Chains A and B, each alone.
Chain A
Amino acid sequence: MSTDPKYVPRSQVLPLDKALEVVDSLPGGGIILTKVEEVLNWGRAASIWPLTFGLACCAIEMMQAFATRFDMDRMGIIPRATPRQADCIIVAGRATIKIAPIVRRLWEQMPEPKYVISMGSCATCGGPFYYDNYSILKGIDQVIPVDVYVPGCPPRPEALIEGFLKLQDKIKKEPFLRRRITNAAAAQS
């Protein structure tokens, strides 16, 4: 049982027809008031489309997370094959110095707002390839800004799902519309 005072057990939530009755009885009936930004963020958080970009071992756990048993589709997380349709890039695995410019270009091709999940120790800090190594990048955050770090070598699919939940929390709190208006105003002046 949650200690949150706002917590309502699922059994106490009104069925939908009852809920509509309550809403209809309000003055101006049938209207739900909320912030535009909150509705947008709610929608955005429930449909994060990541780019299928696997580098190394973590990509296998990422595939497993998209596949049977873990099935991230149920949270609206559907992999896309092109950066133009993606909201989020999962850097799964170790990135070499040779691949770093390509990761950067993929990230630049993604439309705003965009997010980065760094999956596994290698993408986070170089991991087991930190010492005595001449070819691996010591953390993908040297190339692109990271929003969520998922630790593990490789992280379990559950860990990746937790990472996505953290990203959803972040998106829900984000003043993204406000920021966009401010940015547009700044660009005009």
Chain B
Amino acid sequence: MGPQHPSTHGVLRLVVTLDGENVVDVQPDIGYLHSSVERMMEYRTYLQNIALVDRGMDYLSAMANEEVWCLATERLAKIDVPERARYIRTIMLELTRISSHLIWLGTFGIDLGAVTAFLWAMRERERIMDLFESATGGRLHHVYFRIGGVYEDLPDGWTERCAEFCDYFLDRLPEYDELLTGNPIFLARTQGIGILPRDKAIAMGASGPVARASGIAYDVRKAHPYEVYDRVQFDVPVRQEGDCFARYLVRMEEMRQCVRIIRQCLEALPAGEIRAKVAVTLKVPKGEVYARTESPRGDLGIFLVGDGSDRPYRVKIRAPAFSNLYALTEMMRGWKVADVIAILGSIDIVLSDVDR
């Protein structure tokens, strides 16, 4: 199956061994989108790399990549981020999470034959794109975070529009419940399908919504708080079933929690500086650091080695989608060939994140 297949969400090839209609084994063949990002980052300055991580890593959640890169550099260079910038970053990260989950919801719907879900999810996403565009200038690749803060302050009236979007979005979420959560066809395709047991999820290194749907109550935002996540109230949705439907429910609940975080941040948004004084050709001291964040797909980490120059010596990216893809074989074995589509859709991979 693949690499060109309408439901692989990118260029993934799956070597599926079948016994009649039953899946005996699945071997993912990756590397069709390998863009040698880790290598390229060694040749670019710390500032230039912000633009690169947007494109080279998980492109559905560009801000999450900028965040982990800036976080790693700031920790190594010991730069303090001003309060206001931290809040702005948190708002942007949560908006990114919503927009990424909306794309997943839309494509998951299409895979299971519910095209309406795609059109509705894209309608909501366009409003987030408008917010991004007015604040950062870009729709998909923002290059908005800077080392030590953010590029520009929020434009006039942005916070009001963001609050308006939160209200609008919470109004819309019950519509999806009506469309999908109670839909018998959707339930038949997802409930009890592609079960990933808790111990297997840990063994395979699954993280993010995939792990949380298998009963692992782990969220980097709670376990190792960054930005202002230790100051806002939010719940981490956990399900015990470990099937496709549990993964769907976890993501839907996460979107509600995102809105909750954004509302708290908008209320507490302080005035003040948005960027620390950092040289454009920033020289980072010798040493190594590991920064981890909770991207929409899971535990996204960067291991960064600095050698005292203005370019990193080595960068290693721990991509959540890559580890989640490992668990795919475990989930698919023993199910029917028609379930392959549902299971693949439910783990929400981005091939750019897998291959890098």
Contact = CB atoms under 8 A, between A and B. Distances in A.
Contacts, number: 98
B32 A106 contact: no
Contacts of B103: 60, 63
B220 interface: no
A132 B103 CA distance: 31
Contact of B126 (A57, A64, A93, A98): A64
A132 B39 contact: yes
B325 to A, nearest CB: 17
A85 interface: no
A56 B126 contact: no
B11 A55 contact: yes
A96 B34 contact: yes
Contact of A67 (B32, B36, B40, B119): B119
B352 interface: yes
A102 interface: yes
Given A60-B103, A67-B118, A67-B119, A128 B55 contact: yes
Nearest to A55: B11
A124 B13 CA distance: 25
Contacts of B118: 67
A154 B141 CA distance: 8
Q: How large is the interface on A (under 10, 10 to 19, 20 to 34, 35 or more residues)?
A: 20 to 34
B141 A99 contact: no
Interface in B21-51: 31-36, 39-40, 43-44, 51
Interface in A24-73: 52-57, 59-61, 63-64, 67-69
A156 interface: yes
A134 B126 contact: no
Interface in A121-137: 128-129, 131-136
Main secondary structure of the interface of A (DSSP, over half): loop
Contact of B59 (A52, A57, A102, A134): A57
Helix, strand, loop or mixed for chain B's interface? Answer: helix
B52 interface: yes
A172 interface: no
Of the candidates A57, A59, A154, the one having the most CB atoms from chain B within 10 angstroms of its own CB is A57
Nearest to B99: A60
B4 A56 contact: no
Contact of A81 (B6, B44, B55): B6
A136 B3 contact: no
A112 B244 CA distance: 41
Interface string B85-109: 0000000000000000001001100
Nearest to A105: B4
Nearest to B9: A54
Interface in B104-150: 106-107, 118-120, 122-123, 125-126, 129, 139-141
A138 interface: no
A69 B122 CA distance: 9
The 5 closest A-B pairs by CB, nearest first: A67-B122, A57-B59, A68-B123, A81-B6, A132-B43
Given A57-B141, A93-B33, A96-B32, 14 more contacts: A55-B10, A56-B59, A57-B55, A60-B140, A61-B139, A63-B106, A68-B119, A94-B33, A96-B33, A99-B11, A129-B55, A131-B40, A133-B39, A135-B34
Interface of A: 52-57, 59-61, 63-64, 67-69, 81, 93-94, 96, 98-99, 102, 106, 128-129, 131-136, 153-154, 156
10 contacts: A52-B6, A56-B33, A68-B122, A68-B123, A94-B33, A98-B34, A132-B40, A133-B40, A134-B39, A154-B139
